[in-house]
Amino acid sequence: MKFSEYKDLIQDNLKKYFHEYSKNSSYSSQVWDSMAYTTLLDGKRLRAIMCLEIARLFGASIDDAMPLACSLEIMHAYSLIHDDLPSMDNDDMRRGKPSNHKVYGEAIATLAGDALISFGAQLIIDKMPKYISPNVTLDIVRDYLICAGAKGIVAGQCADINAENKKIDIENLKYIHKYKTGALFKCAILMGAKFANVDKEILTKLALYADNFGILFQVYDDIIDCTLTTDELGKTAGKDKLENKMTYVSVYGLEEAKNIFYSLIDKNHGILSSLNIKSEVFDNIYNMLIEKVKR
């Protein structure tokens, strides 16, 4: 399946799940609207696509893995809504549109983020095919929950906020990127692999691959924050400097940040070939990122 086909399929299914679960929500319909708003805006859907592509590469059905993929986009939307709040990065724009709190207010945006976390977990459990063993389901839901919380995205976001206006060491910077962004990519790749029942040895390699991807993706995001325009980004350009964030660009400079980005891509090509995996979709993803970093 092609990248754009994956993307359309994910969008259709997200819409379908929101429709199904938000029915008859009477007094809470506003929070459902807020949850659906950010989730359904046009994102790249990388986490969902990577989960599906890994599942497919190891022999699983894309259709059956779809709820997992959608749960990742739902968790991603929570992280974006909270990340944009005035008390966090204070960003008025997301995915080319007003941020969630600009439309629904801070209170509902905060609650929508909370509710998205549990919605994603429920979706995984409700839609898991019967042929998947309860142990695998438990393992996948556990990964999802750890990723959302204080050993995952929250850990990274906390460290990110604490590092504002400071000089931090490289280990701390790496920690921020590994958790605020890497945790979800790792969750995506490992959930796809576990759904396809891959063995431990392969999982270990994929975990390393995912850790590298998480870092290189956030390095990419740090780079484009200061090289692309608000229009191109769909979120406020130059925000990291404005908020005095510690990023790979602020610590290493633009050129070295690009070198680190490319060297992590090389490492990951090595890991995929050692697994004998060839994926056009993964190639597309890297090319998409490189294209933007080059500009």
Among 35, 71, 221, 285, binds Mg ion (CB under 5 A): 221
Among 18, 50, 67, 83, binds ligand IPE (CB under 6 A): 83
The length of the chain is: 295
Choices 89-97, 136-144, 164-172, 256-264; region in contact with ligand IPE by CB under 6 A: 89-97
Residue-wise over 170-187: b if at least 16 C-beta within 10 A, else e? eebbebbbbbbbbbbbbb
Size of interface with ligand IPE, in residues (CB under 6 A): 18
Q: Which is nearer to ligand IPE, 143 or 221 (CB)?
A: 221
Query: Site residues for ligand IPE, window 174-193 (CB under 6 A)?
Result: 180-181
Q: Which is nearer to Mg ion, 104 or 220 (CB)?
A: 220
Query: Site residues for ligand IPE, window 136-165 (CB under 6 A)?
Result: 153, 157
One DSSP character per residue, the chain reads --HHHHHHHHHHHHHHHHHHHHTT-GGGHHHHHHHHHHHHS----HHHHHHHHHHHHTT--HHHHHHHHHHHHHHHHHHHHHHHSTTTT--SEETTEE-HHHHH-HHHHHHHHHHHHHHHHHHHHHH--TTS-HHHHHHHHHHHHHHHTTTTHHHHHHHHHHTTTS---HHHHHHHHIIIIIHHHHHHHHHHHHHTT--HHHHHHHHHHHHHHHHHHHHHHHHHHHHS-HHHHSS-TTHHHHTT---HHHHH-HHHHHHHHHHHHHHHHHHHHHTT---HHHHHHHHHHHHHHH-
Q: Which is nearer to ligand IPE, 260 or 275 (CB)?
A: 260
Q: Which is nearer to ligand IPE, 60 or 181 (CB)?
A: 181
The minimum distance between CB 226 and ligand IPE, in angstroms, equals 11
How far apart (Å, rounded) are the C-alpha atoms in residues 211 and 246?
19
Query: Site residues for Mg ion, window 169-198 (CB under 5 A)?
Result: none
**Binding flags for ligand IPE, 33-72, as an x/- string (CB under 6 A):** ----------xx-x--------------------------
Cβ(144)–Cβ(70) below 8 Å: no
Q: Which is nearer to ligand IPE, 193 or 224 (CB)?
A: 224
**Binding flags for ligand IPE, 208-247, as an x/- string (CB under 6 A):** ----------x--x---x---------x------------
Q: For residue 199, what are its two tokens?
A: 């063995």
79 binds, among ligand IPE, Mg ion, none (CB under 5 to 8 A by kind): ligand IPE
Residue 258 interacting with ligand IPE (CB under 6 A): no
How far apart (Å, rounded) are the C-alpha atoms in residues 287 and 258?
14
The minimum distance between CB 239 and Mg ion, in angstroms, equals 6
Q: For residue 159, what are its two tokens?
A: 């460290």
The minimum distance between CB 63 and ligand IPE, in angstroms, equals 22
Choices 30-38, 182-190, 217-225, 259-267; region in contact with Mg ion by CB under 5 A: 217-225
Q: Which residues of the shown chain bind ligand IPE in the complex (CB under 6 A)?
A: 43-44, 46, 76, 79-80, 83, 89, 91, 95, 153, 157, 180-181, 218, 221, 225, 235
Summarize as ranges the residues that interact with Mg ion (CB under 5 A): 83, 89, 221, 225
